Amino acid sequence: KKIIIATSNPNKAKEFRRIFDETEIELKTLLDLTDVPEIRETGESFKENAQIKAHTVMEKYKLPTIADDSGLEVDALFGQPGIYSARYAGDHNDAANNAKLLAELGGVPEEKRTARFVTTLVFANPNNDEDLVVEGEVKGQIANFPQGNNGFGYDPLFYLPDLKKTMAELTLDQKNEISHRGRAIRKLENEWPSWINW
Ligand code: ITT
Q: Can you say how many angstroms the Cα of residue 143 is from the centroid of all Cα atoms in its chain?
A: 20
- Residue 132 predicted with pLDDT over 90: yes
pLDDT in tens, 8-41: 999 999 999 987 877 888 999 999 999 999 999 9
pLDDT in tens, 75-97: 999 999 999 999 999 988 999 99
Average pLDDT, the chain: 96
Please name the residues in contact with 134: beta carbons below 8 A apart, sequence gap of 6 or more.
120, 121, 184, 187, 188, 191
Q: Where are the domains of the chain?
A: 2-195
Measured CA to CA, the distance from residue 53 to residue 66 in angstroms comes to: 8
ipTM over 0.85: yes
Ligand 1 shell residues, CB under 6 Å = 7-9, 12, 68-72, 85-86, 97, 117, 151-155, 179, 181
Specify the CATH number for 2-195; select among 3.40.190.10, 3.90.550.10, 3.40.50.2000, 3.90.950.10.
3.90.950.10
Q: Probe ligand 1: pick from 154, 160, 172, max atoms within 8 Å of CB?
A: 154
| pLDDT value of position 30 | 98
Measured CA to CA, the distance from residue 56 to residue 77 in angstroms comes to: 32
Secondary structure (3-state) at 135 = strand
C-beta of residue 5 within 8 angstroms of C-beta of residue 27: yes
